[in-house]
Amino acid sequence: MQYIQTIIEIEENELRELLIAELNEMGYEGFEENTDTLIAYIPEDQYIQGAIAELLKQKHLSYEDNVIPKQNWNAVWEENFQPVIVEDFCTVKADFHDLIVNTPYLINITPKMSFGTGHHATTRLMMMQMRHLSFNNAKALDFGTGTGILAILAQLLGASSVLAIDNDEWSYENATENFARNSSDRVEIKQGSLEVVGEGKFDIILANINRHILLQYMTELYKHLKGGGHLLMSGLLVEDETIIVDAALIAGFKKEKTDMLNNWISILFTK
């Protein structure tokens, strides 16, 4: 399967964050943020030229598209993927990075096309909030695992078992590779959405997806969380908070806290 690379000329940070959210909802799966451009990737079979052209025309943004063969993707990431250090807590790097690690936790990721490298604010927000949750002997669910980065971190933090799910075939393959790379032997991965969980219940649910999916599955997420458990979610912009919190409260959750970074937020709930 080939991917379409869309290179968008954009400098304004706030507009860039809003655009990433809109592109994500259109099916774009990977993003590279540079000083004056945003580079986004979408599977060729999901690309609708008229839709992206209209969206960017409305925002007065110019762009160009390129076809990226699947076999070239590793080289693209190796050229552009830089290590990430999340506070003094966790380092995210690829095997080809040569650096001294000074954080207590290390994750090795070869991201390919999957979302979740620690670069984007939503992944960083999730990781920063995970730092303050107790994963010791917890049973965790990573809903929309992407590269598998959050599932790997959950095991490192002491989870007794982690179920990672994603309905994207590329993410499933990539996460499987990353779990092996990090010796994540307590992580199980399944391809699909929340339906593949069955009757399972969890102490902690991690959900870094997008507003529409979170709203769609809010009731089901409540059913799969144990009493006293935590639901940590992101993939949300500041303006999404009210509608998400309202839906969570209706489902039965209690809001604990909201963190913000670059106009993105993560929200922690309990049951």
Where is pLDDT greater, at 35 or 57?
57
Examine residue 91 and state whether it is found in any structural domain, yes or no: no
Question: CATH number for the domain including 237?
Answer: 3.40.50.150
**Given a cut of 80, is residue 14 above it in pLDDT?**
no
- The Cα–Cα gap between 81 and 205 comes to 28
Question: Is the domain of 170 the same as that of 243?
Answer: yes
The domain containing residue 37 runs over which residues? 3-77
Of 77, 95, 123, the position where a domain reaches its end is 77
Can you give the pLDDT at residue 29?
Answer: 76
112 vs 232: CA distance, rounded Å: 25
Listed range (7-11, 65-69, 177-181) with the worst mean pLDDT: 65-69
Contacts 24+ apart (CB under 8 A), 48-51: 51/26
241 lies in a domain?
yes
Range scoring the smallest mean pLDDT among 53-62, 72-81, 190-199: 72-81
- Structure confidence by residue, pLDDT tens digits, 114-133: 555 666 788 899 999 999 99
Give domain status of residue 84, yes or no: no
Structural domain includes residue 83? no
Residues 186 and 242 in one domain: yes
Which stretch, 4-18, 64-78, 239-253, has highest mean pLDDT? 239-253
88 lies in a domain? no
Verify that 71 and 123 share a domain, yes or no.
no
Is residue 218 in some structural domain? Answer: yes
Indicate if the pLDDT at residue 78 is higher than 70: no
Does residue 253 sit in the same domain as residue 121? yes
pLDDT at 113 over 60: no
Tell me the average pLDDT across 185-190.
Answer: 97
Tens digit of each residue's pLDDT (9 = 90 or more) over 197-242: 999 999 999 999 888 899 999 999 999 999 999 999 998 989 899 9
CB 92 within 8 A of CB 83: yes
Residue 80's pLDDT is: 63
144 plus 38 within the same structural domain: no
Give the whole-angstrom CA distance, residue 76 versus residue 71.
Answer: 10
One domain, residues 68 and 125:
no
Output the pLDDT for position 234.
94
For residue 109, what pLDDT is reported? 86
* Domain presence at residue 183: yes
Pairing of strands 202-208, 225-237: parallel
| Count: domains in the chain | 2
Q: Are residues 30 and 157 part of one domain?
A: no
In a domain, 29, yes or no: yes
Give the mean pLDDT of 53-81: 80
20-48 average pLDDT score: 85
Q: How far is CA 29 from CA 5, 13, 205, 209, in A?
A: 11, 19, 22, 11
pLDDT at 79: 63
Mean pLDDT of the chain: 89
The answer on 242 and 127 residing in a single domain is: yes
Question: Is the same domain home to 70 and 198?
Answer: no
Instruction: Select from 55, 77, 99 the last residue of a domain.
Output: 77
CATH code: domain of residue 58: 3.30.70.240
- Verify that 64 and 152 share a domain, yes or no: no
Query: Same structural domain for residues 69 and 161?
Result: no
* Domain co-membership, 117 together with 223: yes
